[in-house]
């Protein structure tokens, strides 16, 4: 990566650019880039965007919502709401209701496959007595979040053949292959953002495609570190660098460097 920004900061900016005033965002554990993206969007182009935090109120966010000098604008720092009761979370399934919990969510995975399925349950291993190489936290609500939210984003701090697999071992969020079998051909992740690039889905084949590669990343880099075939676009686009305004917004919302510290989770990325 070029100097002046980190891989995690670039991933955060990519998501922020795609958010708008109509978004009501929820984020959970390990989704700090989603929260950061929402705060950047509020600050720069989506002042009416709302943020919901699904964890307990005692777990205050590590980032700092910006204040506004103009009270006529949406006051983002007052829109980090906390919902910890089950009844409140059930409002997720009412997209027409005024109290809908969220219409945007961010989902990671121990595995992500070419159809956009995620696995937070565990990696299987036939040689192990219990059948597992490693267990994860479980789906932790991501199945429902992906289904009910208008937009959901996949993200991963690693981009390698262990993470990006042809098919996940266990399904947390179903991919396009399963969704199409059930008659839902128009349901896709919005984007998948990794240390190597930005990915979307081919609406015909239902498989992952390249939207852009981050500066310094080549198609061969991505191909060698992805466990399934990716079609090379006729024109490979480069992910735009963080702008001066985005970098300033990052400085304001992340004075302690929480997003910057996420780079430590990224393995094999270009320096």
Per-residue pLDDT averaged across 153-160, rounded?
95
Instruction: Provide the CATH number for the domain around residue 225.
Output: 3.40.1080.10
pLDDT classification of 59: cutoffs 50, 70, 90: very low
Gap between the Cα atoms of 242 and 6, Å rounded = 10
| pLDDT (tens digit per residue) in 78-112 | 445 544 444 555 555 555 655 567 889 999 999 99
Q: In Å, how far are 6, 26, 27, 44, 123 from 221, measured between CA atoms?
A: 18, 32, 30, 33, 24
pLDDT tier, 76 (very low <50, low <70, confident <90, very high otherwise): very low
Residue 1 lies in a domain: no
Q: Determine the pLDDT at residue 88.
A: 52
The predicted pLDDT at position 128 comes to 76
Residue 155 lies inside a defined structural domain of this protein: yes
Structure pTM? 0.85
Query: Is the predicted pLDDT of residue 56 greater than 80, yes or no?
Result: no
pLDDT at 156 over 50: yes
Q: Is residue 248 part of a domain?
A: yes
pLDDT exceeds cutoff 80 at 195: yes
User: CA-to-CA distance for 104 and 34, rounded, in angstroms?
Assistant: 10
Residue 50 lies in a domain: yes
Number of domains in the chain: 1
Q: Does residue 225 form part of some domain?
A: yes
Percent residues over pLDDT 90 in the chain = 55
Does residue 111 sit within a domain? yes
Return mean pLDDT, the chain.
Answer: 83
User: Across-strand partners of 226?
Assistant: none
Asked if pLDDT for residue 161 goes beyond 60, the answer is yes
As a whole number, mean pLDDT of residues 143-153 equals 87
Spatial CB neighbours of 6, under 8 Å, sequence gap ≥ 6: 259, 260, 262, 263
- Asked, for residue 270, whether it belongs to a domain, the answer is no
More reliable by pLDDT, 89 or 10: 10
pLDDT, tens only, 233-264? 999 999 999 999 999 999 998 988 888 888 88
- Edge-to-edge strand list for the sheet holding 208-213: 80-82, 50-53, 24-27, 104-107, 151-155, 192-193, 197-201, 208-213
Instruction: Specify whether the CB–CB gap between 219 and 236 falls below 8 A.
Output: yes
With respect to residue 77, please indicate whether it lies within any of the assigned structural domains: yes
Domain limits for position 30: 7-265
Q: Say which range, 66-70, 103-107, 172-176, has the weakest mean pLDDT.
A: 66-70
pLDDT of residue 218: 97
CA-closest candidate to residue 122, choices 72, 177, 171: 171
N-term to C-term CA, the chain: 5
């Amino acid at each position: 990566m070029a100097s002046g920004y980190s891989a995690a900061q670039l991933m955060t900016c990519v998501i922020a650019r795609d958010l708008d005033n109509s978004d009501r965002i929820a984020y959970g554990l390990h989704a700090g880039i989603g929260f950061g993206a929402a705060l950047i969007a509020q600050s720069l182009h989506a002042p009416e965007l709302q943020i919901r935090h699904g964890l307990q109120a005692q777990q205050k966010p590590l980032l700092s919502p910006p204040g506004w000098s103009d009270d006529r604008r949406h006051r983002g720092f007052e829109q980090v709401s906390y919902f910890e009761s089950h009844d409140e979370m059930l409002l997720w399934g009412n997209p027409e209701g005024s109290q809908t919990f969220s219409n945007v969510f961010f989902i990671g995975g121990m595995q992500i496959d070419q159809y956009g399925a995620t696995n937070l349950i565990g990696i299987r291993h036939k040689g192990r007595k219990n059948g597992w190489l490693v267990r994860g936290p479980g789906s932790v609500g991501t199945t429902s979040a992906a289904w009910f939210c208008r937009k959901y984003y996949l993200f991963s701090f690693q981009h390698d053949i262990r993470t990006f697999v042809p098919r996940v071992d266990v399904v947390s969020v179903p991919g396009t292959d399963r969704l199409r079998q059930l008659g839902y051909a128009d349901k896709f992740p919005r984007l998948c953002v990794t240390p190597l690039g930005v990915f979307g889905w081919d609406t015909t084949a239902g498989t992952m495609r390249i939207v852009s590669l981050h500066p310094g990343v080549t198609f061969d880099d991505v191909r060698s570190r992805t466990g399934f075939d990716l079609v090379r676009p006729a024109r490979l686009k480069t992910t735009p660098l963080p702008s001066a305004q985005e970098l300033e917004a990052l400085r304001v919302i992340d004075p302690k460097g929480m997003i910057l510290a996420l780079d430590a989770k990224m393995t094999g990325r270009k320096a």
